[in-house]
Structure 1
Amino acid sequence: MSKAISQEQLQNFQADLDKHEGHEVNERAVTKNGILSVSADYRSEVAMDRVFSIDIDTGKVADQKRSGRCWMFAALNTMRHSMREKLHMKDDFELSQNYTFFWDKLEKSNYFLENVLQTAELPTSDRKVTWLMQTPQQDGGQWDMLVALIQKYGVVPQTVMPETFNSSNSMEINKQLNLKLRKDAVELRELVAANKSDADIQKAKEKMLNEIYRMLAYTFGEPPANFDFEYRDTENNYHRIENITPQEFFKKYVGWNLDDYVSIINAPTADKPFNHMYTVEMLGNVLGGRQVRHLNLDMQTFRKVAIEQLKHGESVWFGSDVGQESDRKKGIMDTNLYHQDELFDVDFSMSKAERLDYGESMMTHAMVLTGVDLVDGQPTKWKVENSWGDKVGEKGFFVMSDDWMEEFCYQIVVNKKYLPKDLQEILKEEPTVLAPWDPMGALA
Structure 2
Amino acid sequence: MTRSLAGIRLGAQPASSDGSVSAANIEQWEQNIPPTVELARTILNHTNVKDALVNRKAVVADQHVFNTEVSFKTGPITNQKSSGRCWLFATTNVLRYNVMKKFNLEDFQLSQSYLFFFDKLNKANYYLELMIENADLPIDDRLIQHLSSDLISDGGQWDMVVNLLETYGVVPQSVYPESFHSSMSGPLNSLLKTKLREDALILRDLTSSLQSAPAAEARATLRTKKEELMKEVYTIMSATLGVPPLPGADGAQEKFVWDFYDKDGKPGHWEGTPHDFYAIAKGQYSPADSFSLINDPRNDFGKLYTVDKLGNLWGGRPVLYVNTQIDDLKQAVVKMVKAGLPVFFGCDVGQSSDRNYGIMDTALFEYERAFDITLGLSKADRLRMGESSMTHAMVISAVHVDPATGKPLRYKVENSWGDAAGEKGWFMMTDAWFEQFVYQVVVPKALAPKELVKVYESGEKVVLPPWDPMGSLA
TM-score between both structures, scaled by the size of structure 1? 0.96
Task: Give the equivalent residue in structure 2 for 1:239.
Answer: 268
What secondary structure sits across from 1:427 in the alignment?
A: helix
What is the CA–CA distance in structure 2 between the aligned matches of 1:232 and 1:11, rounded to whole Å?
A: 72
Task: Give the equivalent residue in structure 2 for 1:64.
Answer: 80
Instruction: Give 1:442's aligned amino acid.
Output: S
Instruction: Give 2:276's aligned amino acid.
Output: E
Deviations 1:143-167 (A, max 9, x none): 1111101111110000000001111
Q: Report the alpha carbon displacement of residue 253 of structure 1 after superposing the two structures with TM.
A: 4.5
Q: For 1:29, which of 19, 43, 46 is the aligned residue?
A: 43
1:20-419 matched pairs, under 5 angstroms: 20-56=34-70, 57-90=73-106, 92-195=107-210, 197-224=218-245, 225-242=254-271, 244-255=272-283, 256-269=285-298, 272-375=299-402, 376=404, 377-419=406-448
Deviations 1:284-328 (A, max 9, x none): 101121211101110111100111001111000011110101110
Instruction: Give 1:251's aligned amino acid.
Output: A
Instruction: Give 2:44's aligned amino acid.
Output: V
What is the CA–CA distance in structure 1 between the aligned matches of 2:300 and 2:312, rounded to whole Å?
A: 27
Instruction: Give 2:47's aligned amino acid.
Output: N
Q: Report the alpha carbon displacement of residue 22 of structure 1 after superposing the two structures with TM.
A: 4.2
What is the CA–CA distance in structure 2 between the aligned matches of 1:102 and 1:217, rounded to whole Å?
A: 8
Task: Give the equivalent residue in structure 2 for 1:437.
Answer: 467
Quick one: percent identity of the two aligned structures?
41
Q: CA RMSD in A?
A: 1.3
Instruction: Give 1:71's aligned amino acid.
Output: W
Asked if 1 retains the 8 angstrom alpha-carbon contact of 2:37 and 2:371, the reply is: no
What secondary structure sits across from 1:279 in the alignment?
A: strand
Q: Report the alpha carbon displacement of residue 238 of structure 1 after superposing the two structures with TM.
A: 2.3
Asked if 2 retains the 8 angstrom alpha-carbon contact of 1:381 and 1:401, the reply is: yes
What is the CA–CA distance in structure 2 between the aligned matches of 1:330 and 1:53, rounded to whole Å?
A: 20
Q: Report the alpha carbon displacement of residue 2 of structure 1 after superposing the two structures with TM.
A: 5.3
Q: Report the alpha carbon displacement of residue 16 of structure 1 after superposing the two structures with TM.
A: 1.5
Instruction: Give 1:220's aligned amino acid.
Output: L
Asked if 1 retains the 8 angstrom alpha-carbon contact of 2:99 and 2:280, the reply is: no
Which residues of structure 2 form unaligned runs of 5+?
Answer: 1-16, 212-217, 246-253
What is the CA–CA distance in structure 1 between the aligned matches of 2:306 and 2:161, rounded to whole Å?
A: 16
What is the CA–CA distance in structure 1 between the aligned matches of 2:135 and 2:125, rounded to whole Å?
A: 15
Asked if 1 retains the 8 angstrom alpha-carbon contact of 2:69 and 2:399, the reply is: yes
Which residues of structure 1 form unaligned runs of 5+?
Answer: none
What secondary structure sits across from 1:295 in the alignment?
A: strand
Q: Report the alpha carbon displacement of residue 339 of structure 1 after superposing the two structures with TM.
A: 1.1
Q: Report the alpha carbon displacement of residue 23 of structure 1 after superposing the two structures with TM.
A: 3.4
What secondary structure sits across from 1:247 in the alignment?
A: helix
How many residue pairs are counted as aligned between the two chains?
438
TM-score between both structures, scaled by the size of structure 2? 0.90
What is the CA–CA distance in structure 1 between the aligned matches of 2:42 and 2:204, rounded to whole Å?
A: 57
What is the CA–CA distance in structure 1 between the aligned matches of 2:361 and 2:142, rounded to whole Å?
A: 37
Q: Provide closer, same or farther for how the CA distance between residues 426 and 325 of structure 1 changes in structure 2, counting only shifts above 3 A.
A: same
Q: Provide closer, same or farther for how the CA distance between residues 129 and 253 of structure 1 changes in structure 2, counting only shifts above 3 A.
A: closer
